[in-house]
Amino acid sequence: MSKSLAASKKLMQSYLSELLNEDVEPKLAPQAKESSVLPVKEKQAQPLESLLNNASLLQVAQEVEEAVQTRPLSSAKASNKDLFEKPQVKTKHVKTIHNDAISPSIKSKAATKEPNVDVSVKKADEIKTRKSLGGFTESKPLSYRQGDFQAMFFEVAGLIIAVPLVELGGIHSNNKATPLMGKPDWFKGVMLHRDEKINVVDTALWVMPEKCDQALLSALNYQYIIMLNNSEWGLSAEKLIDTVTLKQEDVKWLDTPNKRPWLAGLVKNRMCALLDVDSLIKLLEKGANIKQD
């Protein structure tokens, strides 16, 4: 089993290297661009290392690593206990407050505070673009895209995945999930937890279906369900690693729309994927796998 785990870890490393390499490709130096017109056979023979050497990302990563050595990361290993049964703040109660209940004096205060003038001016000056007319969905800026933020790292089949703590809905123990007929392979089933129904995702099958052979699947030992934000979706995880405070420069961000909307970025020093939880939820709700099929 250890052999298969080691093999799967190796696979994962190469998988992430490919991911990194793929993103860097447009930024390659001219000689790298030349290599892209090489015949397919030669292209395949070209070692991964040479491509990585050309990648500007590595230089950035090295610089960051040097910086980290002189100024250590403020890593805070949070105990897993804190993460369990994280209370979910619901805003429903706020909605129940009616205007009638507000006393007239408060109402008048609120009215004086409201800055209405700017809005009309803005609307008049608004330039209509293709984007504003629809057809394009503007992605909401990620809440953790400024300042330091905490991320939790977990492991699935040797692959380490990070999830920003602000988008972590909670962690549950893995219990029996009832499979439903006609659902994709990666949909493990519905797990009951305190009268809630959790849609459990087989993370290995979702993230790397092509690498999930029978040996890997049978070696998987899912222990936890990582809840995604306030959704009903949960990712299966084998191990919880730790929680680390990351700086913006610790992550290679993928801010521009790309073919992997679920990927917010890559954590440089751990060479692992940082999930864009909201985009991932959207994909799961569409029933799409990692290839968005």
Q: Which is nearer to other proteins, 149 or 186 (CB)?
A: 186
Near other proteins in 272-291, by CB under 8 A: 284-287
Number of residues that bind other proteins (CB under 8 A): 19
Comparison of 179 and 257: residue with beta carbon closer to other proteins: 179
Contact map string, positions 100 to 139, toward other proteins, x by CB under 8 A: ----------------------------------------
- Beta strand spans in the chain (E): 149-156, 159-164, 168-173, 177-178, 187-193, 196-201, 224-228, 233-237, 239-246, 251-253, 263-267, 272-275
**Residue 45 within binding range of other proteins, rule CB under 8 A:** no
To other proteins, the closest distance from the beta carbon of 190 in angstroms equals 5
Q: Is 180 in the site for other proteins (CB under 8 A)?
A: yes
Pick out residues in 182-201 that bind other proteins (CB under 8 A): 182-184, 187, 189-190, 192, 195, 197, 199
Residue 73 Cβ vs other proteins, minimum distance, rounded to whole Å: 38
Q: Applying CB under 8 A, which part among 39-47, 99-107, 177-185, 250-258 lies near other proteins?
A: 177-185
Nearer to other proteins, 193 or 270 (CB): 193
Smallest separation, CB 217 to other proteins (Å):
17
**Nearest distance in Å: CB 181, other proteins:** 4
Cβ closest to other proteins, residue 145 vs residue 193? 193
Minimum distance of other proteins from residue 100's CB (angstroms): 16
Q: Judged by CB under 8 A, does residue 232 bind other proteins?
A: yes
Pick 51 or 226: Cβ nearer other proteins: 226
What is the residue-wise DSSP string for the chain?
Answer: -HHHHHHHHHHHHHHHHHHHHHHHGGG--HHHHHHTTS-HHHHHHS-HHHHHHH-HHHHHHHHHHHHHHHS--------HHHHBTPPPP--HHHHT--GGGS-HHHHHHHHHH---HHHHHHHHHPPP-TTTTSSSPPPPPPTTSSS-EEEEEEEETTEEEEEEGGGEEEEEE---EE--TT--TTEEEEEEETTEEEEEE-HHHHH-GGG--HHHHHH----EEEEETTSSEEEEESEEEEEEEE-GGGEEE--S--S-TTEEEEEGGGTEEEE-HHHHHHHHHHT--TT--
Task: For residue 178, state whether it binds other proteins (rule: CB under 8 A).
Answer: yes
231 lines the binding site for other proteins (CB under 8 A) = no
β-pair partners for 265: 253, 274
Query: Which residues sit at the interface with other proteins, rule CB under 8 A?
Result: 178-184, 187, 189-190, 192, 195, 197, 199, 232, 284-287
